[in-house]
Amino acid sequence: MRHAIVTAGTKGLGKKMTEALLTKGYSVTATYRSDREKAEALLDEFEEYQYRLHIVQLDTMDVSSINKAVDQAYEKFGRVDCLISNAGPYIFERKNCLIIQSMSGMRW
């Protein structure tokens, strides 16, 4: 059985990736940063996959936290086949980070 680690895998897009991988037969270590209650609720939501779903706390800005999470995942499943690096800052409002103007002056 292949195993994936999904950072920020308990909410939003990460949760959808976790679900997709589980339905494709993967075992998944889904990480969360601070919302433990929401993360643990995932085990109830995906009850049929509980034996293949592992939830761990991870702060991607802390090397020791990264090492600990990977060690826990490897200890539980014996392998790591892929990493979905989904963790990132929450954006409270949409901003134009980059505006590309074509010759016609359209914004993308």
Q: Which pair of structure tokens corresponds to residue 15?
A: 């949760």
Rounded to an integer, the average pLDDT of 20-36 is: 96
Q: Can you give the pTM of this predicted structure? A: 0.81
Instruction: Answer yes or no: is 95 within a domain.
Output: no
Instruction: Answer yes or no: is 72 within a domain.
Output: yes
Instruction: Answer yes or no: is 101 within a domain.
Output: no
What residue numbers bound the domain in which 78 lies? 3-84
Q: How many structural domains comprise the chain? A: 1
Q: How does pLDDT run across 69-91, given as a tens digit for each residue? A: 999 999 999 999 999 999 876 65
The CATH number assigned to the domain holding 72 equals 3.40.50.720
Longest dimension (CA), the chain: 56
Average pLDDT, the chain: 87
| Phi and psi, residue 69, nearest 5° | -65, -45
pLDDT score at 76 = 97
